Amino acid sequence: MTTLSHNLHTVQTRIAAACVAAGRSPQSVTLLAVSKTFSASDVQEVADCGQRDFGENYIQEGVDKIVAFRADPHVPALVWHCIGPIQSNKTKLVAEHFDWAHTIDRLKIAQRLNDQRPAHLPPLQVCLQVNTDGGATKSGVTPDDVLTLALDVAKLPRLSLRGLMTIPDPVDGFEAQVAVHNKARALFGEMKAVLNLPQFDTLSMGMTGDLEAAIHAGSTMVRVGTAIFGGRTFAG
Mean pLDDT for 197-211 is: 97
pLDDT at site 136: 66
pLDDT of 236 > 80? The answer is no
Looking at per-residue pLDDT, the higher value among 188 and 70 belongs to 188
Residue 81 has pLDDT above 50, yes or no: yes
Whether residue 232 is predicted with pLDDT greater than 90 in this model: the reply is no
Q: What is the pTM of this model?
A: 0.95
Instruction: Find the mean pLDDT for residues 97-123.
Output: 98
Averaged pLDDT of the chain: 94
- pLDDT at residue 235 in the model: 41
* pLDDT, position 133: 79
Over residues 180-192, the mean pLDDT reads 96
Distances in Å between the Cα of 12 and the Cα atoms of 6, 20, 103, 104, 127 are: 10, 12, 25, 28, 23
Q: What is the pLDDT of residue 234?
A: 47
Please give the average per-residue pLDDT across 40-46, as a whole number: 94
Dist CA 14 CA 16 (whole Å): 5
Task: Tell me the average pLDDT across 225-235.
Answer: 77
What three-state secondary structure class fits 163? strand
pLDDT at 233: 55
Residue type, 222: V
Does position 192 have pLDDT exceeding 80, yes or no?
yes
Collapsing DSSP to helix, strand or coil, 221 comes out as strand
Q: How confident is the model at residue 138 (pLDDT cuts 50, 70, 90)?
A: confident
For 9-37, the DSSP string reads HHHHHHHHHHHHHTT--GGG-EEEEE-TT
**Is the pLDDT assigned to residue 220 strictly greater than 50?**
yes
What is the fold, at CATH topology level, of the domain defined by 3-229?
TIM Barrel (3.20.20)
Distance CA 86, CA 96 (A): 13
